[in-house]
Amino acid sequence: MKFAVIVFPGSNCDVDMYHAIKDELGEEVEYVWHDAESLDEFDGILLPGGFSYGDYLRTGAIARFSRVMQEVVKAAQAGKPVLGVCNGFQILLESGLLPGAMRRNESLKFICRPTKLKVENNQTMFTSLYEEGELVTIPIAHGEGNYYCDEETLQKLIENKQIVFTYENNPNGSLANIAGIINEQGNVLGMMPHPERAVDELLGGADGLKLFKAIVKQWREANVIKA
């Protein structure tokens, strides 16, 4: 499986994401600059964390207009797995690939620490290797991770089981303790915690590795069926 790690000016978790795929999964991966005109050669798209374009205007608001985002949307519509982590999640919200918006943390402070997440839905291409209700430890590092949407959207997320991860102890004021959501089609996941920073016990834990393994497993199974 071949992954693209999208790099925007200000991305700073792209190396972590690259390491998770190449060194921990042993899969093919390339950095792709924000002005790329095609993602057709890639099977999976990864939007890393950081401060794209310095977080001017709003987090992800400028990156949403990068040339490569047209290709990310195209890949998502084609059913390819798209994962946005932290700033990547914010970009997915700004681009309309996921519903809702991000606000400043309730504390108005940047938070960086390990966090317990509950797996709310393990019937996705990203979470199939977790148990439903499983508690995992994944680090967070953000100043604007306070997820918000209107009541109608929240009900839709609940009914469609689009809430994939919730915080055991809400660190940022996020609505309904939401830490990660998926689109209706089930192939675009946005989450504030950083699974790429939890792929090896040397990093303090490997709970995030299952997420990446699940993507590869689902992709291989789908392509065996097609073949």
How many domains, the chain? 1
Tell me what the mean pLDDT of segment 172-196 comes to.
98
Cα(203)–Cα(211) distance, rounded to whole angstroms?
Answer: 16
Residue 187 has pLDDT above 90, yes or no: yes
Q: Which domain does 94 fall in, by range?
A: 2-226
pLDDT level of residue 83 (50, 70, 90 thresholds): very high
Predicted TM-score of the model (pTM): 0.96
CATH code at 33? Answer: 3.40.50.880
Tell me what the mean pLDDT of segment 115-130 comes to.
98
Q: Is residue 13 flagged as an active site residue?
A: no
Closest CA relative to residue 97, chosen from 121, 119, 81, 116: 81
Q: Is residue 194 flagged as an active site residue?
A: yes
Q: Is residue 151 flagged as an active site residue?
A: no
pLDDT level of residue 111 (50, 70, 90 thresholds): very high
Half-sphere exposure of 163 (CA within 13 A, CB side): 23
Res 226: pLDDT: 60
Residue 80 has pLDDT above 80, yes or no: yes
Query: Which position among 27, 94, 144, 196 bears the catalytic label?
Result: 196
Query: Which position among 86, 94, 120, 142 bears the catalytic label?
Result: 86
Tell me what the mean pLDDT of segment 71-99 comes to.
97
